[in-house]
Amino acid sequence: MSQPQEEFSDGLTSLPLFPLNLVLFPGMDLPLHIFEERYKDMIGECLNQDSPFGVVLIKEGLEIGDPAEPERIGTSTRILRSEVLDQGRLNIMTKGERRFEIEEITQRVPHVVGRVRYLVEIEGQGCSELVPQINDEYVELVRNLTALTGGYTSRVEIPEDPVELSYAIAANLNLEPHLRQSLLVTETAATRLADLIPMLRQGNEAMRKRIEEQNPFQGPRLN
């Protein structure tokens, strides 16, 4: 059973933070290999308490060594399963849950802890017009990703909720971290979907070319 996080009268929550060179979206799976002592301790506490931690893109600094300066907005993530290795190292699988904004860094050693405010997800105006435009491109994206690994899928599950759809698309696109961060900080699903449409089309075009290069003789069948 999950233990309650430390909450303050101003609505903020204390959350251990993991600065990384990547952006995590709500609903996105994230495998991690934990080998630094500070993060072994942090993840151990999260496992013992069944509590989340926050993943934030590094603004300045490095993943290893001195504490890095994180971006202000990140995503809380919960550990789904873990595997203990030699020397106390861990392999964990996590799933992104909720966006948050860091209001204050309260600890930097041995690992970063912040007081955060969880953000409310807003659909915004125009989702009903944007979703039909993007659904077909999303289906093609999933099929292209599957084809690149030598697979095939006949049925693609499309999230009905516009917020979930926007994050699912953003998670599957191969974008630079700063672009992914800009999508994460976007306030409404409608704006995020509108921003994603040209990125999605460009991504599908690039993947189609890669698939053709992998299968130069692929073409229409005659029988």
Task: Give the pLDDT score at 8.
Answer: 64
Q: In 3D, which of 135, 121, 39 has the Cα closest to residue 82?
A: 39
Q: In 3D, which of 195, 166, 193 has the Cα closest to residue 179?
A: 195
| β-sheet bridge partners, residue 78 | 95
In the chain, the domains with their CATH numbers are 13-118 (2.30.130.40), 127-214 (1.20.58)
Using the predicted structure, report yes or no on whether residue 17 has a pLDDT greater than 80.
yes
Could you write out the three-class secondary structure of 56-112?
Answer: EEEEECCCCCCCCEECCEEEEEEEEEEEECHHHCEEEEEEEEEEEEEEEEEECCCCE
Q: Within a 10 A sphere around the Cβ of 65, how many other Cβ atoms?
A: 8
How far, in Å, CA of 155 to CA of 105, rounded?
A: 45
Helix (H, G, I), strand (E, B) or coil at 54: strand
Backbone torsions φ then ψ of 183, nearest 5 degrees:
-70, -35
Using the predicted structure, report yes or no on whether residue 70 has a pLDDT greater than 90.
yes
**Arithmetic mean of pLDDT, 90-102:** 98
Stated length of the chain: 223
Task: Give the pLDDT score at 51.
Answer: 97
Task: Give the pLDDT score at 124.
Answer: 96
**Arithmetic mean of pLDDT, 149-176:** 91
The per-residue pLDDT for range 25-39, each reduced to its tens digit, is 999 999 999 999 999
**Arithmetic mean of pLDDT, 90-111:** 96
**Arithmetic mean of pLDDT, 87-93:** 95
Using the predicted structure, report yes or no on whether residue 64 has a pLDDT greater than 60.
yes
Task: Give the pLDDT score at 156.
Answer: 87
Return the amino acid letter for 100. F
Task: Give the pLDDT score at 155.
Answer: 85
CB contact set of 118 (below 8 Å; sequence gap of 6+): 13, 76, 98, 99, 100
